[in-house]
Structure 1
Amino acid sequence: MLQSKSQKPVHHALRACSGAMLAIFLVSAVVNVLMLTGPLFMLQIYDRVLASSSVPTLVVLAGIAIGLYLMGGMLDILRLRALNRIAMRVYARLSGPAFRANMRMPVLMGRRAAGMAPHRDLEAIRRFLGSPGPAAIFDMPFMPFYFLLIFLFHAWLGTLAVVGGVVIACLVITNEYLSRGPSRELSGTSGAQSRLMGAARRNAEVLTSMGMFDSLSRRYSGAVEEHYLRQQAMTDHSNFFSSVIKMLRLMLQSAMLGLGAFLVIQQEITAGVMIAASIIMARALAPIEQAVSHWPSFVAARQAAGRFDEAVQACGDPAATEGLPAPTETLRVEGLATAAPGEQAPLLQGVGFELRAGDGLGVVGPSGAGKTSFARALMGIWPALHGSVRLDGATLDQWPEAERGRFVGYLPQDVELFDGTVAENICRFAAEPDIMAILKAAKLAGIHQMVTALPEGYETVIGENGARLSAGQRQRIGLARALFGDPFLVMLDEPNSNLDMVGERALTTAIGEVRARGGIVVVIAHRPSALTALNKVLMIQDGQQVQFGDRDEVLDKVVPVTKASGSREMQFDAV
């Protein structure tokens, strides 16, 4: 179901850990009470042990203090371990939505997705949740408790502590306000750097063969320098406020000692109270100083959570009808208009036709006419600005995505394979692959002998993007993947662009087999020879439907038969 705008995945993941966080808060309360061990021990030393010169009292107090210190240390270790487990639990809960959003953003958000990387945002959230930063946040609510204790010692001491706390709190708020912009810019430069690195990795062959390494290296160096400058500015900003707050804390601690000494001289407090008040105030302000030191990661995590929520919500599944049967009869396109994701200017419009089970449609037209745009709209990859694509009367988005994949096969113009075995790529990485269905798809695509000739047959690992295979082999494995499971609708975008004569014959046979079992095949072609096994043709030109009808009738209008050979040899680019 499509998530409502009020739903925030990060918020929901954190709420799922609310019980653990409540436990951490209670542990933090005990830890903060145990933090009084040092001040109270000093108070007893100055006011009781030194006054009485009692060694047994000193030994007992020291034993109690050691026990309390050990308990506090163990609870603090437990708290940090719990925070780390919460971080990993949130990460595990959101990793699925992050992967899904990362996959769907380019086709749903277009250029808006350029600055988003859900997996990187999730990693920023995990790093902060697993750091000591949240522990400092859990300690902050106990600051008034420490200030109250100082007030109980003496009103002047309490007033000094509160004034110092207010000044430091103002600095924290100022730091928060001023760090938003630099943190956002830093995230942008980090994303640009990562995108350039990814593009260079994907196009390593082009960079190597065409001598583009130095040019891209200079551009990457420029991106690194920009990121370095932003990182430097952010670090300088954080270090400035951290140093100022640390300086104020030390000054306040000394001021507390000075005021305490004055009150001791006036015989209003004891020396032990003077020391204890100074230590308690330092403890009260310590969470603020620690929080400021982790402030960049906190701001980065908060902004990452906002981007993550936006990406996941934008990439949510539309409402689907459970139990809707797979289509078996018709494909109907009604006044279809489409545009690139995130754009409003249509690249294709006015397309309408109907195909029945067993039909094969060839989509022809010159380069840039809108054929690939049509294929993406037909598969539901690109949004329909107007009109609809219906299978047996239902639009594609009425089926859940996983169920829709069982009756749709797609071979894109640029075939992308995944790092895995040949069998895994053919069966679309199914959890429980059907080996007979894999063999059937491979034989239908005419690659069974080719695959068995590989070193490990169907279990051969092909590497990232099929690096171990030729372009033709990748295309034919992609064809087998599109045919896997006997889908009702098969969309092939220039399936013969890298095929030899044997591959073209296998393609023609495969198209005939799909039609014979009652499926519908749509083929985008640049050469009339690819239309041999089809019975319908759709002509697209300048983003508009020009012709639709029986194959020979349409081709006679757009590509006349050559008298010398009695065949159509012209490519549609020349039409």
Structure 2
Amino acid sequence: MTSTSLRSRAAHGLGPILMSFRREFIAVGLFSGVANLLMLTPTIYMLQVYDRVLVSHSELTLLAVSLIAVFMLALMAFTEWVRSRVLVRIGLRLDQQLGGRVFAAGFNASLATTEQTPARAAADMLQVRQFITGQGVFAFFDAPWIPVYLAVAFILHPVLGFVALAFACVQVLLAWLGHQRTAEPTQQATRAATDANMYLQGKLRHVETLEAMGMLGGLRRRWQERHAVAVGRHSAAQDLVQKVAAASKFVRYTQQSLTLAAGAMLVIAGDLTPGAMIAANLLVARALAPIDAIVTNWREFVLARSAYGRLRALLEAHPEAASQGGRAAPQGAYQVRKLVAAAPGRAAPILKGIDLDIPAGHMVAVVGPSGSGKSTLARCLIGVWPDAQGELLLDGAPLSGWSRADLGPFIGYVPQDVELFEGTIAENIARMGEPDSPQVIAAARATGLHEDILRLPRGYDTAIGDSGGVLSAGQRQRLALARALYGDPPIVVLDEPNASLDEAGERALVQALQELRRRRRTIVLVTHRHPAVQLADLVVVLQDGKVAAMGKPPALAAPGTAVPPAAPAGGTPQPA
């Protein structure tokens, strides 16, 4: 990867977004500075009470000092509230600026992986935002003021300063050792818990099959194995965290006692006043409080840092695509040269050097045995297959030059496994956008689904879930076809659109294809069944990831026609 591309990716990363909040973070730092200066109030107040008020027995001095102390403490509380509000607003603005980009990047990444990347990316963003707006981050803003408190302790007496410095070094060492011991186990526990949850969520989508075929026991056993690993790693990580926390608590309590003891010795020697002894104890405790807070919140810091790293890598790997709004609709002419498509876990590629020309406004039927690469070719043509190499041109320009937001409205696609989304029927047909009623009805009529929808209790406003439970399998497939036809896109790719259709659905599909041909739309039809193939201008036969034959439909589309053998290595596909 070139340095220019690296800089381009970095410009779209997470760091620049956080840097855009530098003024807010500077404001938080300034308020933290004021708050930490005001936290010296109890120390100074105690010095005044013990060394001045108790000696002079002046009630007026006590009143004046107390009023000043109350005012300073109120001002300290106000500054702490303000910095909390600023961090909360940073979290809200970060979510507004980053939420859409994280979702889009996670969605794009999910095309290349089996993990539920959008959900994990959203969880990572939530982890980062919660840490930024939580109490743990204040420790990092307060930590730079530790030297100030130590300096004040040295001013009171060098012995007190050295005692405070010694305990500060012990706690810093403890924090470093805690990081070394807990960072990796905590990350392993998080990964194991995520793996177990994602496994369960993925399998419970098929709960009907699990219940009907008695597979729940096997699923539970496999989940329990993953869950046991997650619980074990979480317990091990928590044991380490608790050990570090216990050691930190021991150091804190020991520091309070030994600081008081050192002050008492200085008082006995006549080198320190009793007021300074009590004040020094509070001062040293305050000086070490940020370190203790860092140790206490270290686990949240480690989780937030891991989430930040994953988000940064995700955004750099999948930068926000620049919209090229205003581009003319494509005509639909495809040129495919030496197309190779691979998949993770497979040694051999699925598609092995496909060469294909699809003129604009033509209908191409892709047939062949199962596993020959038909669905993969369809996904390559719409630009969603992650690992494709070769030349894939749309209207003479690389398909990769289109952003998904720009190309999507010009493509109608029916996948082999129909996926519907939570919403109304109208919203599903309108691709989850704002439904255009005339276009929604036109798409439903084109698939013969209009009358079926009107018979539902709320018609087009009938709500359906992800599985489309209120619809039959054939109706779901026709609804997916209506979604593909919504907006009259110039390119329509149909992957087994008739797999669940009855006779009426077949007729509706054929009529829809005829209408698309009349409008000169580019159609790619992947199918095992032959009636609709008769409408095609060209039939492409795939076998073992290669073009075995291509030609006009009469010879290849007739029922019972055998698929010609694949061309020999180095040869040309056999004509129909």
TM-score w.r.t. structure 1 length?
A: 0.92
Letter aligned with residue 35 of structure 1? M
Q: What residue number does 1:447 align with?
A: 449
Distance verdict in 2 for CA 1:304–1:59, change over 3 Å: same
Letter aligned with residue 341 of structure 2? T
Q: 1:45 aligns with which of 41, 44, 49?
A: 49
Aligned-partner Cα distance in 2 for 1:358–1:8: 38
After the TM superposition, which residues 228-377 of structure 1 pair with which residues of structure 2 at under 5 Å, given as runs? Answer: 228-316=231-319, 323-328=326-331, 330-340=333-343, 345-377=348-380
Aligned-partner Cα distance in 1 for 2:319–2:87: 29
Q: What residue number does 1:94 align with?
A: 98
Deviation of the 1:295 alpha carbon: 0.8
Q: 1:434 aligns with which of 433, 436, 448?
A: 436
Distance verdict in 2 for CA 1:205–1:77, change over 3 Å: same
After the TM superposition, which residues 519-538 of structure 1 pair with which residues of structure 2 at under 5 Å, given as runs? Answer: 519-538=521-540
Letter aligned with residue 428 of structure 1? R
Q: Given the alignment of the two structures, is residue 118 of structure 1 paired with residue 121 of structure 2, yes or no?
A: yes
Q: Which region of structure 1 is more displaced relative to structure 2, 524-533 or 302-311?
A: 524-533
Q: What residue number does 2:571 align with?
A: none
Where 1:409 maps in the other structure, the secondary structure is strand
Aligned-partner Cα distance in 1 for 2:186–2:328: 50
Q: For the aligned residues, what is the CA RMSD? A: 2.3
Deviations 1:245-289 (A, max 9, x none): 221122222222222222222222212122111111100101111
Deviations 1:334-391 (A, max 9, x none): 2211112697741112211212233111111111111111111111111454322222
Q: What residue number does 2:20 align with?
A: 16
Aligned-partner Cα distance in 1 for 2:118–2:428: 30
Distance verdict in 2 for CA 1:227–1:92, change over 3 Å: farther
Q: What residue number does 2:552 align with?
A: 550
Q: Which region of structure 1 is more displaced relative to structure 2, 469-478 or 306-315?
A: 306-315
Distance verdict in 2 for CA 1:16–1:465, change over 3 Å: farther
Aligned-partner Cα distance in 2 for 1:157–1:491: 78
After the TM superposition, which residues 129-528 of structure 1 pair with which residues of structure 2 at under 5 Å, given as runs? Answer: 129-316=132-319, 323-328=326-331, 330-340=333-343, 345-383=348-386, 385-431=388-434, 433-528=435-530
**8 Å CA contact retained: 2:190, 2:234:** no
Distance verdict in 2 for CA 1:178–1:529, change over 3 Å: same
Aligned-partner Cα distance in 1 for 2:537–2:466: 37
**8 Å CA contact retained: 1:372, 1:493:** yes
Deviation of the 1:157 alpha carbon: 1.6
Deviations 1:215-246 (A, max 9, x none): 22233333333222222222222221122122
Distance verdict in 2 for CA 1:113–1:329, change over 3 Å: closer
Q: What residue number does 1:567 align with?
A: none
Deviations 1:1-56 (A, max 9, x none): 98834246432332222222211111111111111111111111111111112222
**8 Å CA contact retained: 1:105, 1:113:** no
Aligned-partner Cα distance in 2 for 1:37–1:43: 10
Deviation of the 1:513 alpha carbon: 1.0
Q: What residue number does 2:561 align with?
A: 559
Distance verdict in 2 for CA 1:280–1:537, change over 3 Å: same
Deviations 1:65-115 (A, max 9, x none): 22222222232233223322322322232211222133222213x257779
**8 Å CA contact retained: 1:365, 1:541:** yes
Deviation of the 1:291 alpha carbon: 1.4
Q: 1:59 aligns with which of 57, 63, 71?
A: 63
**8 Å CA contact retained: 1:338, 1:373:** yes
Q: What residue number does 2:568 align with?
A: none
Deviation of the 1:116 alpha carbon: 8.2
Aligned-partner Cα distance in 1 for 2:345–2:34: 52
Aligned-partner Cα distance in 1 for 2:352–2:491: 21
Distance verdict in 2 for CA 1:115–1:555, change over 3 Å: closer
Aligned-partner Cα distance in 2 for 1:129–1:344: 44
Distance verdict in 2 for CA 1:384–1:8, change over 3 Å: closer
Aligned-partner Cα distance in 2 for 1:115–1:477: 25
Q: Which region of structure 1 is more displaced relative to structure 2, 413-422 or 214-223?
A: 214-223
Where 2:500 maps in the other structure, the secondary structure is coil
Where 1:357 maps in the other structure, the secondary structure is coil
Aligned-partner Cα distance in 1 for 2:320–2:385: 14
Q: What residue number does 1:30 align with?
A: 34
Distance verdict in 2 for CA 1:387–1:557, change over 3 Å: farther
Aligned-partner Cα distance in 1 for 2:424–2:5: 34
Unaligned ranges ≥5, structure 2: 564-576
Aligned-partner Cα distance in 1 for 2:204–2:57: 75
Q: What residue number does 1:566 align with?
A: none
Where 1:387 maps in the other structure, the secondary structure is strand
Deviation of the 1:416 alpha carbon: 0.3
Aligned-partner Cα distance in 1 for 2:12–2:193: 24
Deviations 1:417-449 (A, max 9, x none): 101111111111224x32222222111122111
User: What is the percentage of aligned positions where both structures have the same residue?
Assistant: 38
**8 Å CA contact retained: 2:31, 2:79:** yes
Letter aligned with residue 89 of structure 2? R
Letter aligned with residue 30 of structure 2? L
Distance verdict in 2 for CA 1:317–1:343, change over 3 Å: farther
Aligned-partner Cα distance in 2 for 1:19–1:368: 57
Letter aligned with residue 47 of structure 2? L
Aligned-partner Cα distance in 2 for 1:83–1:389: 48
**8 Å CA contact retained: 2:107, 2:117:** no
**8 Å CA contact retained: 2:174, 2:248:** yes
Deviations 1:190-216 (A, max 9, x none): 211221231133111112211222322
Where 1:465 maps in the other structure, the secondary structure is coil
Aligned-partner Cα distance in 2 for 1:486–1:478: 14
Deviations 1:172-201 (A, max 9, x none): 111122222112101211211221231133
Deviation of the 1:148 alpha carbon: 0.7
Q: 1:72 aligns with which of 70, 76, 87?
A: 76
Q: Given the alignment of the two structures, is residue 104 of structure 1 paired with residue 108 of structure 2, yes or no?
A: yes
Where 1:74 maps in the other structure, the secondary structure is helix
